[in-house]
Amino acid sequence: MKKKVLTTCPYCGSGCQLYLNVEDGKIVSATPADGRTNQETLCLKGHYGWDYLNDPQILTKRLTKPQIRKNGKLEDVEWDEAISYTAQRLSEIKTKYGSDSIIGTGCARGSGNEANYVMQKFMRAVIGTNNVDHCARVCHAPSVSGLAYSLGSGAMSLSIPEIEDAKLLLIFGYNPAESHPIVARRIIKAKQKGAKIIVVDPRITESARIADLHLQIKGGSNLALVQAMANVIILEGLVDHPFIEDHTSGYEEYKKQIEKYPPEYAQSICHIPADTIRQAARQYAKADSAAILWGMGVTQFGQAVDVVKGLASLALLTGNFGGPSMGVGPVRGQNNVQGGCDMGALPNCYPGYQDVTDDIIREKFEKAWGVRLSKKNGIPLTQVPQYVLHEKDEKKKIRAYYIFGEDPGQSDPDLNDMRKALDALEFVVVQDIYMNKTGLKADVILPATAWGEHEGVCTCADRGFQRIRKAVEPKGDLKPDWEIISLVSTAMGYPMSYKNTKEIWDEMRSLSPLFFGATYEKIEKMGGVLWPCKDESMADKGTMYLHKDGVFAHLDGKGKFFATEWRAPGEIESKEYPFSLSTVREVGHYSVRTMTGNCRTLSNLEDEPGWIQMSLFDCEKLKVKEGDLIRVSSKRGTTITRVKPTERVKAGATYMTYQWWVGACNDLTVPYLDPVSNTPESKYCAIKLEKI
């Protein structure tokens, strides 16, 4: 029997729609659908990222049965035993140490928004804590915090299709060709339509190659550049005064701070000629509609929130809000990282960005869920090692970690510390689809269905709710994530009896004014709905771009300017550690390769684990050539990988991917956190290199 199942690609926030073509219960191909963002195109991950669903064991072992650690070894058990053991251990820890001794994660991958809603409800209503977070913490949390401060809303202001009609794109710390290939296609289209492209990146990326202007910035100097561009715009009279007057606050104070950043001063920090900074500022300010797109080259720094506010200020300064194809675009990486935030898998927000410390909002959720809820913000997941290993107050320590669809044992910084924390925890639950680095440390494994095996809704990078659909039956004794969490909740004395994802979605909508109008029916009919969507009637089709007519989401409707002093990265090069290291990613793989590593075609494309990109100059100096093994060390650890010489990087700067088990660069990265967002500085630490 043949069928075509329309769904959303799980491999990045572009939200491409595709058909899974199924014959006799097996997927035989994926073909592009005419989706809102992808218009019948896919990148290679969309085309080839499905065969792990047919064959459960290509590279690593698909989890097919619940497991409990007995006498030090994980053993297969039945669901009843796994659920009641998990519930019993979590209840014991809650009773002994208190609710805040337990932390849980949401999942930014293909599990769906409904599973994230149920997880944050479980942590809040059943465990009794706001200690719930997800991987936005290690990537785009600074975008959420920074834009919420500046504009009142932490999401992309424009939609993905609008990118191609911008007259100028400032692509800042973002490599769309590798991270969002379909967004990269929109950028190429914009260029073909005459848009100017400015790229700020320490590497010569594919986008830099097509740019009109490439600012090859020194890592860790973003704020100095942003404020120098503002300096030029103000000094040369290129500001949009009527917009500033009518739609913003804080301009005079901002202007004073910006005066301290002439391009010549920024040149000494950013290593970009002052005249090039002037050129970039002029081009940006003079464009009819300019959009700034950014990625983790902005957010994974210790001063990331300040830079996000600085970028928003550039857009306010030039009046680049109010219409289509302009504004700000933090382009989320994982396919549902936006959804994790939307659904409240965050320590400070209920679903729909509603503050957990607001009494009226909390009472609404208490009434709906029939429990008393915690009044204080929870702990971000990047502080788990701190609260497990280094917290002196016994009452504040974290004792148990419920990890759903994340792999902190590979994806978080300073893995030596993270491994020690996982070992020191009294109880670790891993709910996932494959065995991973974290699963090896788990006390209980709860095996879940994967993308392609269940229903739901996800949110792509531009706030678009889109459906994910079941194409094939799961291979093993598996359950959808929302059902597993509901069973644990019920076993802990708080019954959750959802019959399907629509029931969960409707409950979530009823509590979230921003999303209330986005019914399943509407999402089905329109193919996707961008929030805010507040009215259930078909007349409310959602919102393509935010801040229409320059009205921002703050109570006074105004956008806020912000500038501050630049500061250097938390760990810089030294005599002993003379190179800088930044993490990057590979186009053929997704996150820690749980899914793509188990797809034959994608695995064959990149079959050599790990590498370090180095300049030709540094290779010559160290007498190493392509493929040579090299020892890479930081103050925190050592790993071995292969040399990849390239003319695309500057001398002294190196780049590694975190995606491989072998040559894991997170053995080296620094746990230095942005003080507001608690996002780690994965894009900068100091290392040494030794030829083997």
The site for ligand SF4 (CB under 6 A) is made up of 9, 11-12, 14, 16, 38, 42-43, 45-46, 180-182
Task: Classify residue 34 by burial, with Cβ atoms within 10 Å: 0-12, 13-18, 19+.
Answer: exposed
Of 46 and 146, nearer to ligand SF4 (C-beta) is 46
In the complex, minimum distance from the CB of residue 15 to ligand SF4, in angstroms, rounded to a whole number: 6
State how far the alpha carbon of 113 is from the alpha carbons of 75, 325, 338, 343, 524, in Å.
Answer: 31, 27, 9, 6, 16
Q: How far is the CB of 330 from ligand SF4 (least distance, A)?
A: 16
Whose Cβ is closer to ligand SF4: residue 8's or residue 289's?
8
* CB-based closest residue to ligand SF4: 46
Q: Least Å distance between CB 528 and ligand SF4? A: 13
- The Cα 20–Cα 16 span in angstroms is 12
* Residue with smaller CB distance to ligand SF4, 214 or 467: 467
Q: Is the CB of 180 or the CB of 558 nearer to ligand SF4?
A: 180
Smallest distance, ligand SF4 to C-beta of residue 465, A: 15
Q: Are 207 and 173 in contact (CB under 8 A)?
A: no
What is the Cα–Cα distance from 30 to 38, expressed in whole angstroms?
14
Residues in the chain: 692
Question: Which CB, 117 or 590, lies closer to ligand SF4?
Answer: 590
Pairing of strands 629-633, 638-646: antiparallel
Quick one: 36 or 62, whose CB is closer to ligand SF4? 36
DSSP three-state, residue 271: coil
Instruction: Locate 336 and state its tokens.
Output: 């549902």
For the CB of residue 49, give the shortest distance to ligand SF4 in the complex, in Å: 7
Residue 176 C-beta: closest distance to ligand SF4, Å: 9
Q: Using alpha carbons only, what angle is made at residue 116 by residues 538 and 414, rounded to the nearest 5 degrees? A: 135
- Output the smallest distance, CB 45 to ligand SF4, in A: 4
- Nearest distance, CB of residue 483 and ligand SF4, angstroms: 26
Contact call for residues 445 and 66 (beta carbons, < 8 A): yes
CB 176 within 8 A of CB 188: no
Handedness of CA 640, 641, 642, 645 (dihedral sign): negative
Which of 180, 463 has the CB closer to ligand SF4?
180
- Give the amino acid at 48: Y
Question: Helix (H, G, I), strand (E, B), or coil: what is residue 376?
Answer: coil
Compute CA distances 282 → 262, 518, 524, whole Å: 14, 41, 44
**Is there a contact between 17 and 466 (Cβ–Cβ < 8 Å)?**
yes
Minimal distance in Å, beta carbon 181 to ligand SF4? Answer: 4
- Catalogue the long-range contacts made by 224-227 (C-beta closer than 8 Å, 24 or more residues apart): 224/261, 224/265, 224/266, 224/269, 224/270, 224/566, 225/200, 225/266, 225/270, 225/272, 225/277, 226/307, 226/310, 226/311, 226/313, 226/314, 227/257, 227/258, 227/260, 227/261, 227/266, 227/310, 227/563, 227/566
The closest alpha carbon to 67, from 56, 83, 55, belongs to: 83
Q: In terms of CB distance, is 11 or 261 closer to ligand SF4?
A: 11
Q: What six digits make up the tokens of 266?
A: 């920024």
Least Cβ distance, residue 84 to ligand SF4 (angstroms): 39
Query: How many alpha carbons fall within 13 Å on the CB side of residue 94?
Result: 18
Which of 489, 591 has the CB closer to ligand SF4? 591
Closer CB to ligand SF4, residue 182 or residue 400? 182
Q: Tokens 């030829």 appear where?
A: 691
- Phi, psi values for residue 522, rounded to 5°: -70, -40
- In the complex, the smallest distance separating the C-beta of residue 253 from ligand SF4, rounded to whole angstroms, is 41
Helices and strands (DSSP H and E) totals, the chain: 24, 28
Please, which residue, 38 or 157, has the CB nearer to ligand SF4? Answer: 38
Exposure class string for 398-413: b at 16+ Cβ within 10 A, else e? bbbbbbbbbbbbbbbb
Q: How many whole angstroms separate alpha carbon 536 and alpha carbon 541?
A: 9
* Nearer of residues 140 and 180 to ligand SF4, judged by Cβ: 180
Q: Which is nearer to ligand SF4, 150 or 159 (CB)?
A: 159
Q: How far is CA 16 from CA 23, 165, 184, 468, in A?
A: 22, 19, 13, 11
Q: How far is the CB of 616 from ligand SF4 (least distance, A)?
A: 31
**Cβ proximity to ligand SF4, 388 vs 602, nearer residue:** 602
CB of 179 to ligand SF4, least distance (A): 8
Smallest gap from Cβ 334 to ligand SF4, in A, equals 10
